Amino acid sequence: MPGLYVHIPFCEKKCIYCDFYSIESFRRYDDFISALHREIDMRAAVLPDDIVFHSIFFGGGTPSLLTDVQMGGVLEALRARFRVEADAEVTVECNPGTVDASQLRGYRSAGVNRLSFGVQSFHADDLLFLSRIHTAEEAEHAIGIAQDAGITNINLDLMFSLPGQTPERWMYNLERARDLGTTHLSCYSLTVEQGTPLARMVVRGMVAMPPEESDAELFTLTMETLEGWGFRQYEVSNYAREGYACRHNLTYWRHEDYLGFGPSAHSTWQGRRWWNLSSLDHWLGAVDEGRLPEAGGELLDRDTLRREYIYLRLRSEGIDLVDFRRRFDADLVRDNRAFIDRCFAGGTLRLEDDRLLLTREGILLCDEICAELE
Ligand code: SF4
């Protein structure tokens, strides 16, 4: 079932590694909130009104900059304009440095039932290096007040492969996350994105990124540890306790439709993908003129859909070979027989009930395997 995504393009301070669209100026914050309502109205007006959505996800940027009243207002607008299931999953990404107890109680009353905290690390020096605005203690406090507010479906984003990070330091982060009673973990390795301050630091020799072997070691440690604690790895970087897989993210990984609102938000709808203007000023300009703020779009042809299907499914639930044949009129295993046999022999792919899945070793080589299958 389709999902709704809302991009909040503000951050108190940019983190050195981040290449998501967000700005540190709040000059046009109020304009943004009003325009968001108008974009929701405009999009709803051009779509049929019989489609039911099962998730809403506020990402960014820092969605937790919204007050509970603003959050409630946007949720009310979405529910008024679209058919949203009564028990839809409603997630808000939170920076632990921007939340308080009464705000989170307000979020809960407004219908938010899942929070995703960008914690990244419980070590003070890591947080300083990543230029996060919060301390480890603030992150722990934030999780506690969320749980007190009645929101117990909680994800933590944690980051490994930081310069100088040892397995012991990484284990400490995983243990803290477990002990805080979180239900979901997203564990990503720190990647150097072009154009970020981190990329410049690496080029200037101020930061040395860990070698690939150490990244693989921490990744394997993560998979083994979390599985041992009862978390299921349902996507390469995502682990959930039973019943807590993120419904919204599954929408992406299952290649289902979603609508995005706000600057730089992407949408995929009935074979077409489009993306909004990134710059807040340009996005506001379009909405002010009564235009949908799209920057571009494309029709998803069969080859693109097939490539994305392979990539997204292999990273998550595996490729259902019967479904693949039905969608693309092709036999994936027969067409890639030699390569797939090598993967079976090498222990990177396995077959289970007509489903092609990555093994733990295969997860480390996910991109390479997907590239061959394309
Ligand atoms: S708070 Fe999140 S979105 Fe904002 S700069 Fe940091 S990582 Fe990026």
> Tens of pLDDT along 241-261?
999 999 999 999 998 999 999
Contact in structure between 219 and 189 (CB atoms under 8 Å): yes
CA nearest 22: which of 278, 194, 284, 266?
278
- CA 21 to ligand 1 center in whole angstroms: 9
Contact in structure between 253 and 316 (CB atoms under 8 Å): yes
Residue nearest ligand 1's atom 5 by CA: 14
Q: What is the mean pLDDT of the chain?
A: 96
- CA 6 to ligand 1 center in whole angstroms: 15
Q: For ligand 1, pick from 7, 21, 62, 156 the residue to mutate: most ligand atoms within 8 Å of CB.
A: 62
Name the E strands within 133-236.
154-160, 184-189, 232-235
CA nearest 96: which of 153, 56, 154?
154
Residue 61 CA: nearest ligand 1 atom is 3
**Res 48 pLDDT > 90:** no
- The string of pLDDT tens digits covering residues 125-156 is 999 999 999 999 999 999 999 999 999 999 99
Sign of the torsion angle spanned by Cα atoms 119, 23, 105, 51:
negative
Residue 93 CA: nearest ligand 1 atom is 2
Which residue's structure tokens are 């050195």? Answer: 16
pTM of the model: 0.96
What is the average per-residue pLDDT within 147-175?
Answer: 97
CA nearest 252: which of 208, 312, 190?
312
Element (H, E) at 292: none
Query: What pLDDT score was predicted for residue 39?
Result: 98
Query: What pLDDT score was predicted for residue 1?
Result: 86
Query: What pLDDT score was predicted for residue 292?
Result: 97
Query: What pLDDT score was predicted for residue 196?
Result: 97
What is the average per-residue pLDDT within 97-110?
Answer: 97
SS3 133: coil
95 lines ligand 1 (CB under 6 A): yes
Structural domains of the chain sorted by starting position, each given as residue range(s) with its CATH number in brackets: 3-253 (3.20.20.70), 302-373 (1.10.10.920)
Query: What pLDDT score was predicted for residue 58?
Result: 98
314 lines ligand 1 (CB under 6 A): no
What is the average per-residue pLDDT within 165-173?
Answer: 98
Query: What pLDDT score was predicted for residue 251?
Result: 96
Residue nearest ligand 1's atom 2 by CA: 61
Query: What pLDDT score was predicted for residue 49?
Result: 84
What is the average per-residue pLDDT within 208-217?
Answer: 95
262 lines ligand 1 (CB under 6 A): no
- The string of pLDDT tens digits covering residues 318-328 is 999 999 999 99
Question: How far apart are the C-alpha atoms of 117 and 139, rounded to whole Å?
Answer: 8
18 lines ligand 1 (CB under 6 A): yes
62 lines ligand 1 (CB under 6 A): yes
- CA 15 to ligand 1 center in whole angstroms: 5
- The string of pLDDT tens digits covering residues 266-309 is 999 999 999 999 999 999 999 999 999 999 999 999 999 999 99
11 lines ligand 1 (CB under 6 A): yes
pLDDT band of 227, cuts 50, 70, 90 = very high
Instruction: Give the number of C-alpha atoms closer than 13 A to the C-alpha of residue 133, restricted to the C-beta side.
Output: 14
Report the percentage of the chain scoring pLDDT > 90: 98
Q: For ligand 1, pick from 8, 13, 15 the residue to mutate: most ligand atoms within 8 Å of CB.
A: 15
Residue nearest ligand 1's atom 6 by CA: 15
60 lines ligand 1 (CB under 6 A): yes
SS3 105: helix
Q: For ligand 1, pick from 14, 26, 58, 157 the residue to mutate: most ligand atoms within 8 Å of CB.
A: 14
Q: In Å, how far are 182, 327, 360 from 185, measured between CA atoms?
A: 7, 32, 17
